[in-house]
């Protein structure tokens, strides 16, 4: 079986996430990078979006899911998002990085990278 990786990087989403009371009252920008296993051979042969993982649909679904979430921890949000995307789009493996820019003074961002499913 061939495993190709479909990328979606730098997706920005506004969401309420954080452990402090003031964070629960505002929206913050989160950044998401996704690597998703797929087989691009069928799409390469047909040149049709229906034969591959539609990253635009994945991006829209992720934005809507995160926008509606109210998690305290980025770890929780990353885990729930990974489960949702795998279920909704039939993704068998993904690596998801969720970043929260400006969360710690002196750093560009904080975040978590999780990997779920079978890669090969």
Q: What is the pLDDT of residues 19-77, one digit of tens each?
A: 878 778 888 899 999 999 988 888 888 999 888 889 999 999 999 999 999 899 899 99
Q: What is the pLDDT of residues 29-38, one digit of tens each?
A: 999 999 999 8
Cβ proximity of 114 and 87 under 8 Å: no
Q: Which of the four pLDDT bands, split at 50, 70 and 90, describes residue 17? A: confident
d(CA 32, CA 80): 13
Q: Which domains does the chain carry? A: 4-117 (3.30.1130.10)
d(CA 106, CA 9): 23
Predicted pLDDT of residue 77: 95
Q: Which residue do the tokens 């591959």 mark?
A: 52
Count CA within 13 A, CB hemisphere, residue 21.
0
Could you give the 3-state DSSP secondary structure of residue 58? helix
């Amino acid at each position: 079986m061939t495993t190709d990786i479909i990328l979606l990087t730098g997706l920005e989403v506004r969401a309420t996430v954080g452990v402090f009371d003031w964070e629960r009252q505002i929206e913050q920008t989160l950044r998401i990078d996704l690597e998703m296993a797929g087989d691009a051979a069928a799409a390469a042969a047909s040149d049709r979006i229906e034969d591959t993982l539609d990253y635009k649909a994945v991006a829209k679904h992720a934005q809507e899911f995160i926008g509606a979430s109210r998690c305290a921890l980025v770890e929780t949000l990353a885990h729930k998002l990974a489960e949702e995307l795998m279920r909704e789009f039939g993704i068998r493996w993904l690596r998801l990085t969720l970043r929260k820019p400006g969360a710690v003074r002196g750093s560009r961002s904080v975040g978590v990278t999780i990997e779920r499913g079978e890669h090969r």
